[in-house]
Structure 1
């Protein structure tokens, strides 16, 4: 009887332990690799998103007390403006009567973008939403007195885009407890209002402001696609882990970038640069459309639509996502230059989007024609950036880019002016057998020829267009292994 009871006890203990293991694994809070991949799938497929830097600095638009300032959206730091003065002067002026969330999100959708990331709180500490835990927000401090994030979230739901929020984590120039150490001790801290750097206790800031505001952002606007953290600075790995758990406890399907710190991000951010090679882990390039992140009336450096498309093709060919920034004006409207570029991007994406969405890198990211010799653009080595930090190449030169989807290879002929292009990676010597070739957006038959050294593709005559990027869809013969052949035979 005792033996039988012992066996029964052992069985019960085993079943209990097994059940406990199933419910107590990291997968319960979406930390397993499988769960993480599932959370990331929409983002991996999307490839293209809109970044929006909008805040009190947009109202300043380049001037403070009648003079141009330094530091653009960081000018509160550069000019050492007391936070109460900064918030009072700009807060009383901020009344964006031209703000139209529907128009903003519709422009993003029409440009081919799949998600929108909006600055909920930038380094100045001012909340651009209704924050019950902090009166230093757009509803309480401005004549606008509305919550723009609520309208943007609703528009994203209407147009099928993911609504995502930016949150400055390790910098906050309104709070007294935020020390920094870049590029030197106190280098990005508010030392004019709070001069004693050693008296600052980061934990107090995290408990008093960060965690309450994250709870607000994750509960007031429906589903959040990404919490896009910035500048973790002195946040410890343990604190980063606690923040990640907080996010997932409220929204289990939300993803976060690596700027949460401590290695707890779901993907890596490259700011104002593009890597030189294919990266196997998820990554994203966030890049300005002009020279600056926030709107500045003196900003005159705007990338051409063709350069923006080339950046998109380069990033996606290397396995990344392209988060393209727009800085709305203080009145709530988009700059005309941004509207024009978004329109051109949209026209190109409506024809060629299938070569972007849901694709993966091919065996090579790209190649140059034999007649072209361009030095590889070296990415900046410092991962922490500030203000004017655009390290992306501005060169327009002929190149070929590749993406893939199952047995299809998409060939991007970027800025080509010849009558044909030779694609060396698809020559017969590569071992690839080609089933068919077509050009996206064209109903005409493509007369292609696969030679030993290259696949020869005819290029259409140049027309009066802003974007000289043609995309060919190359369908490969599916390779049948010897084992399969034996089974078939």
Structure 2
């Protein structure tokens, strides 16, 4: 047996092993949920809490750290709690939020039930630090959103800060060093903090509430496991599945126990064929900040979305509502751009899987300009800043979808498609005009119809193979 045959046999055996492991690890219903997740491609992330009321300002000055400003400004709990006195989001309309998400093509919604500041944005009986007990609003937005999502056919899930809680005295942290993300101004003795007490007295009771009182929960989106042990992650996972067996859990439950992995504010460098999700912001910040003017263009957002899907992932796109409970005006352009583009090109996104390659460049020597900044968990954006003409691919059955992103010339060569691929037909989604094509030694030459300069310049060719 030659070396190539040995390697092929090894790869086949590994694939069989991984498939068998997957099938044994999950019930048929759970596997169906993971398949649904892989088909869905697009969700809405909502960061909303007391930090939204502050809107990036504290005592008349811009804050550092976005929604993490309690940490960055070292604000004592007794002062930070006073924000709740002014937080009365009477503009909140769950039906409008869900309509906006659905119209934009989103298939699921994730909202912050409890962020690092420890404030519960729902009717928690395990804490008195909640939107019901501390604000004049006296409504449960998590309940209202869950009900509307069910009515409109969107999956619903919640974000929960696991290993950070600046309101609780028993939460130590270890990133980027010991006590690096802990409340050390109210609770200075890091070694005295009792993480098991926090897990048992706050985390588990609140998870039980959220998984019991709000109908079907599609996903639990944990953040920052920090010092959570494998035993604690295991117990939390068992608790979730005992209450909602089909619920998906992200990788930030910690210790390798999630159903799907997460990357944040950056793009994947290669195809990943196990479930994953990229969470990206529309603007600079996760939560509403009145000083934020750096919103991504619809073209940049759709380029990022296509890149993520071509590599096998989902985009969880974040919006930060105001303290009044309204999506910021700058987000409207993004939502509308997604709506218009997906109305034409959605078949190349939903239910697709990566092709044999994720993409190729059209101009030699060019590549996407991803940020070289080191990761920073408050304000960071590692997504590309330049719209480079290039190609991305997805596939479905005998169809390959070719995304021509930000192209300048409607004539180009696809090197990854050759005569061996046996093309039956090529069309341009959203156009009735013919696409001219012919094989070259270097690949497939495309001559697209003249481009509509009024639409977002991410065009999709549907290549049907015999």
TM range (shorter): over 0.9
The SS at the match of 1:228 is: strand
Choose which of 407, 411, 414 in structure 2 pairs with 1:416. 407
Matches within 5 A, 1:56-71: 56-71=50-65
Partner deviation per Cα, 1:422-475 (whole Å, 9 max, x = no partner): 2111132xx210011111112233232233322222333343425101101111
Matches within 5 A, 1:279-294: 279-294=272-287
| Map of 1:373 onto structure 2 | 365
| Map of 2:16 onto structure 1 | none
Do the aligned partners of residues 95 and 61 (structure 1) sit closer, same or farther apart at CA in structure 2, a change above 3 Å counting?
Answer: same
Aligned equivalents of 2:94 and 2:26: distance in 1?
Answer: 36
| Map of 2:239 onto structure 1 | 246
Asked if 1:111 is matched to 2:100, the reply is no
Matches within 5 A, 1:81-480: 81-87=75-81, 89-369=82-362, 371-375=363-367, 385-428=376-419, 431-477=420-466
Aligned CA-pair RMSD: 1.9
Counterpart contact for 1:125–1:173, Cα < 8 Å: yes
Choose which of 44, 48, 71 in structure 1 pairs with 2:38. 44
Aligned-residue offset at 1:297: 0.5
The SS at the match of 1:426 is: coil
Do the aligned partners of residues 131 and 188 (structure 1) sit closer, same or farther apart at CA in structure 2, a change above 3 Å counting?
Answer: same
Aligned-residue offset at 1:249: 0.4
The SS at the match of 1:363 is: coil
| Map of 1:3 onto structure 2 | none
The SS at the match of 2:403 is: strand
Do the aligned partners of residues 289 and 378 (structure 1) sit closer, same or farther apart at CA in structure 2, a change above 3 Å counting?
Answer: closer
| Map of 2:10 onto structure 1 | none
Do the aligned partners of residues 381 and 329 (structure 1) sit closer, same or farther apart at CA in structure 2, a change above 3 Å counting?
Answer: closer
| Map of 1:481 onto structure 2 | none
Do the aligned partners of residues 367 and 297 (structure 1) sit closer, same or farther apart at CA in structure 2, a change above 3 Å counting?
Answer: same
Counterpart contact for 1:413–1:421, Cα < 8 Å: no
Aligned equivalents of 2:110 and 2:162: distance in 1?
Answer: 15
Do the aligned partners of residues 379 and 278 (structure 1) sit closer, same or farther apart at CA in structure 2, a change above 3 Å counting?
Answer: farther
Counterpart contact for 2:437–2:447, Cα < 8 Å: yes
Choose which of 74, 84, 107 in structure 2 pairs with 1:80. 74
Counterpart contact for 2:436–2:448, Cα < 8 Å: no
- Bigger Rg over Cα: 1
Aligned equivalents of 2:370 and 2:341: distance in 1?
Answer: 28
Structure 2: tracts of 5 or more residues without a match: 1-20
Counterpart contact for 1:69–1:75, Cα < 8 Å: yes
Counterpart contact for 1:276–1:379, Cα < 8 Å: no
Counterpart contact for 1:412–1:472, Cα < 8 Å: yes
* TM norm structure 1: 0.88
Aligned length: 446
Do the aligned partners of residues 63 and 136 (structure 1) sit closer, same or farther apart at CA in structure 2, a change above 3 Å counting?
Answer: same
Aligned equivalents of 1:345 and 1:466: distance in 2?
Answer: 11
* TM norm structure 2: 0.92
Aligned-residue offset at 1:261: 0.4
Aligned equivalents of 2:464 and 2:332: distance in 1?
Answer: 35
Structure 1: tracts of 5 or more residues without a match: 1-25, 478-489
Aligned equivalents of 1:266 and 1:424: distance in 2?
Answer: 35
Counterpart contact for 2:41–2:314, Cα < 8 Å: yes
Partner deviation per Cα, 1:295-353 (whole Å, 9 max, x = no partner): 10101111110010000110000011111111111111111110121011111011111
Aligned-residue offset at 1:396: 0.5
Indicate the larger mover: 32-41 or 62-71. Answer: 32-41
Partner deviation per Cα, 1:247-273 (whole Å, 9 max, x = no partner): 000000100111000110011100111
